[in-house]
Amino acid sequence: MTELYFIRHGQTIINQEHKINGAHVDTALTATGVAGAQAAGRELQQVQFDQVFVSPQKRAQATAKLVLAPNLAAPALQIAAPLHEMDFGDWEGRSIDEGNQDPALRRFFVDPAHYDPSSFHGETFASVVARGQLLLQQLVSDFPQQRLLIVGHGTMLTLMVRSALGATVGEIMTQPQLANTSISVLQGKSADSLELARWNDIHFLTNIA
């Protein structure tokens, strides 16, 4: 059985400023983001990972390094290009409140079945789900009986995990997304038989500074 641990990156400056994160903007972790990643590291300190895969974006890599710092047996980070965050095109780095005035972007949450980002050069849900599922199938196939850590982004990981369990995009996007430095776990013998063992767990963040 393969075990896959998923962690969303810690809070970033853009998160704190309520701006739109994405595939091309990449600000540093805040103090809260650092503390959250360190708390996740303490939570997983005794878990022995065989492989670690991380998004090419710096906020995810910084989070992974903090999570693994207390784990003396942690393997080296491997960059997985498909783990990059969803691309929000022209809206990246701009105010979420401003973005909500654009009917096309607003459909992201309120009407995901009809979300069409072509007007602002963004990425479709179909694209994100496809690259996420292809990577997941590859990881489960290539690393049977291993425990993997995957560090990435809110929208990407939410779609990746929940679509693997059979949820539609509409079902996924009308529910809360993964929280910063949350831990989720899938396990199974194949990509078609994965089961959810842990979802959006942040109980270990209650006492962070």
Domains of the chain by residue range: 2-205
Answer whether residue 209 shows pLDDT above 60.
no
Annotation says 92 is catalytic: no
pLDDT of residue 72: 84
Q: What is the pLDDT of residues 98-137, one digit of tens each?
A: 999 999 999 999 999 999 999 999 999 999 999 999 999 9
Confidence class for position 207, pLDDT limits 50, 70, 90: confident
User: What average pLDDT does this structure show over 142-171?
Assistant: 97
Percentage of the chain lying above the pLDDT 70 cut: 100
Annotation says 9 is catalytic: yes
The 3-state secondary structure of the chain, one letter per residue: CEEEEEEECCCEHHHHCCECCCCCCCCCECHHHHHHHHHHHHHCCCCCCCEEEECCCHHHHHHHHHHHCCCCCCCCEEECHHHCCCCCHHHCCCEHHHHCCCHHHHHHHHCHHHCCHHHHCCCCHHHHHHHHHHHHHHHHHHCCCCEEEEEECHHHHHHHHHHHCCCCHHHHHCCCCCCCCCEEEEEECCCCCCEEEEEEECHHHCCCC
User: What average pLDDT does this structure show over 11-39?
Assistant: 96
Of 9, 43, 84, 92, which is the active-site residue?
A: 9
pLDDT of residue 24: 95
Whole-model pTM: value is: 0.96
pLDDT of residue 140: 96
Domain range 2-205, its CATH number among 3.30.930.10, 3.40.50.1240, 3.40.50.1820, 3.50.50.60: 3.40.50.1240
Answer whether residue 208 shows pLDDT above 80.
no
Of 3, 43, 85, 123, which is the active-site residue?
A: 85
